[in-house]
């Protein structure tokens, strides 16, 4: 079996879209209508900080898989309380759906279009299928299929998420490239035999707070997706 | 919750693509290279005739779910034997992949593009994810996600396939429309609360051998997908 890469699997939050800017802006739009004026970036950061601990409960088997939408909705509630916001259902729904309206990093849409000429393309994200579908609509991404956590009923970096994605495309791990701005994602994928591409997002979590370079050896490393497309499409 | 339709779920074989013409042509291209000259339509019909009995083994729980690709590969072998063809692995692979190269009915691509402006769009087919992804590439379909049998590990018309699709889009059955050229598919979907749209494909299984009209009451019935788009997009 040829090990030339045939499919690209994309991490989404942080790699393709700017969740911090998006959540700060969307939260402001939603909560300012209720008369709140918060440090919107601090609010986004606090909400995102709940992410890995909650996912770890699923990864470790302590709780059953639920869609990331449900976990986001659950996680935002103590954050709202800390910021002094009285929550209601409509507000929680709107905030949960904010994750479907995150702006792409400026280089992402055109680069994905170029890469699609050469490779099968799928998000392999912890986001659920509907969230990925709506984010794709919002940003004009064209996926061949939505793979990832919901197909595996588990969360990255657990192995099942990557392996289910390879299997869905009938490919060996060696024929698949995990593309991410996060070392832990690429490390897990590489351990299973997938090839790996790191995209630098040095400001993902705020100015200077993001990975400017991978922390492990990868097959490709690029300053942005345009440069990754230059490398992969020749 | 509004019951206005938000998503369209499409049957694929027979509804969007002409499997009979496609399998006849692809089989001819593959097998004539081995020196065979068969009644290609009879070959296609015989292969397709194995479809429901094999799926029924999965639906009834007699055998575990396997991708339709695997069942197609298994089913073509006795058919080849009946037609006096000595099979080999390369031939079986090529024939299995013929299902990824089926031509769309002429009205399908443009109508799907129109419908996508208004609705979330997904195949809810018995075909597996990779097969659906490649068929979409072949015909220029743009799906929001690939739902269907592989997501449910079961085959239509079992309920789980429809319900898994609704759940993946976070929609109630009443917000989803099953679009198919087959009464049995629509009947099963309607029993679960999905809305239904019948598309006439009167020549699906050969001249005059297809459903010119639905055999049950449906929400929409159309002579082709263009006319369905006229009805649904106003």
Domains of chain A from N-terminus onward? 7-18+102-233 (3.40.50.1000), 19-98 (1.10.150.240)
Chain A to chain B Cβ contacts (< 8 Å): 46
Is the CB of A133 less than 8 angstroms away from the CB of B145? Answer: yes
Report pLDDT for A70: 98
Interval B68-125: pLDDT, tens:
999 999 999 999 999 999 999 999 999 999 999 999 999 999 999 999 999 999 999 9
**Which residue of chain A comes nearest to B120, CA vs CA?**
A133
- Cα B232 versus chain centre, distance: 21
Q: What's the rounded mean pLDDT across residues A65-80?
A: 98
Preferred mutation among A93, A112, A118, A133 to probe B, highest tally of B CBs within 10 A: A133
* Contact call for B142 and A142, based on CB within 8 A: yes
Q: Is A146 helix (H, G, I), strand (E, B) or coil?
A: coil
Can you tell me the distance from the alpha carbon of B167 to that of B171, in angstroms, rounded to the nearest whole number? 6
To which residue do tokens 């509907």 refer? A130
- Measured CA to CA, the distance from residue A88 to residue B102 in angstroms comes to 50
The dihedral built from the CA positions of residue A211, A213, A214 and A219, taken in this order, carries a sign that is: positive
| pLDDT band of A2, cuts 50, 70, 90 | low
pTM exceeds cut of 0.95: yes
A130, A143, A169: residue with CB nearest B168: A130
Any idea which residue has 């269907």 for tokens? B148
Q: Using a pLDDT cut of 90, give the percent of chain B over it.
A: 98
Q: Beta strand pairing status for B220-222 and A147-148? A: unpaired
Where does residue A35 rank: exposed (0-12), middle (13-18), buried (19+ CB within 10 A)?
exposed
Q: Quick one: A4 exposed, middle or buried, by C-beta within 10 A (0-12, 13-18, 19+)? A: exposed
Split at pLDDT 50, 70, 90, the class of B234 is confident
For tokens 């940003």, what's the residue? A139
The pLDDT of A225-229, averaged and rounded, is 98
Q: What 3-state class would DSSP assign to B25?
A: helix
pLDDT tens digits, one per residue of B160-203? 999 999 999 999 999 999 999 999 999 999 999 999 999 999 99
- The pLDDT-based confidence of A138 (bands split at 50, 70, 90) is very high
Over residues B33-46, mean pLDDT: 98
Element housing A97 (H / E) = helix A89-98
Supply the pLDDT for residue A3.
73
pLDDT band, very low/low/confident/very high, at A105 (cuts 50, 70, 90): very high
Residues ≥6 apart with Cβ < 8 Å to A71: A51, A54, A55
Whole-angstrom Cα distance, residue A33 to residue A27? 10
CA A48 – CA A79 distance, rounded (Å): 10
Torsion of CA A134, A136, A138, A139, to 10 degrees: 170
* Cβ–Cβ below 8 Å for A129 and B150: no
| Interchain CB contact of B170 with A (< 8 Å) | yes
Interface of B with A in 171-230 (CB under 8 A): none
Q: What is the average pLDDT score of chain A? A: 97
């Amino acid at each position: 079996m040829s090990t030339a890469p045939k499919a690209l699997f994309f991490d989404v939050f942080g790699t393709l879209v700017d969740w911090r800017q998006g959540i700060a802006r969307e939260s402001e739009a939603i909560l300012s209508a209720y008369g709140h004026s918060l440090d919107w970036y601090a609010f986004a950061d606090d909400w995102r900080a709940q992410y890995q601990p909650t996912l770890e409960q699923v990864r470790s088997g302590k709780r059953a898989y639920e869609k990331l939408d449900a976990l986001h909705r659950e996680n935002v509630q103590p954050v709202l309380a800390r910021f002094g916001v009285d929550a209601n259902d409509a507000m929680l729904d709107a905030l949960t759906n904010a994750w479907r309206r995150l702006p792409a990093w400026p280089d992402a849409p055109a680069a994905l279009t170029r890469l699609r000429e050469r490779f099968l393309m799928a998000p392999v994200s912890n986001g659920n299928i509907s969230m990925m579908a709506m984010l794709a609509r919002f940003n004009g991404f064209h996926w061949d299929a939505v793979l990832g956590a919901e197909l595996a009923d588990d969360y990255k970096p657990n192995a099942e998420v990557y392996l289910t994605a390879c299997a869905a495309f009938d490919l060996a791990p060696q024929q698949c490239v995990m593309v991410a701005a996060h070392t832990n994602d690429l490390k897990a994928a590489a351990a299973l035999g997938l090839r790996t591409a790191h995209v630098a997002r040095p400001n993902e979590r705020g100015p200077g707070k993001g990975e400017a370079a991978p922390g492990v050896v990868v097959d490709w490393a690029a300053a942005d997706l345009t440069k990754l497309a230059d490398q992969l499409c020749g």
